[in-house]
Structure 1
Amino acid sequence: MLNPVFWIERFAVTIHFVEGVIAAFYAPSRKKLPIQYGTYTFFVGTVGLLELFAKEDD
Structure 2
Amino acid sequence: MKKLILISALLLFASNGWAYNEMDLGRIKSLVTFKGPYDDETVQQRDARMAWWR
Which protein, 1 or 2, shows the higher relative CO under an 8 Å CA cutoff with sep ≥ 6?
Answer: 1
- Larger Rg, first or second structure (1 or 2): 2
Please give the range of the TM-score, normalised by the shorter of the 2 chains: 0.3 to 0.5
Q: TM-score, normalised by structure 1?
A: 0.36
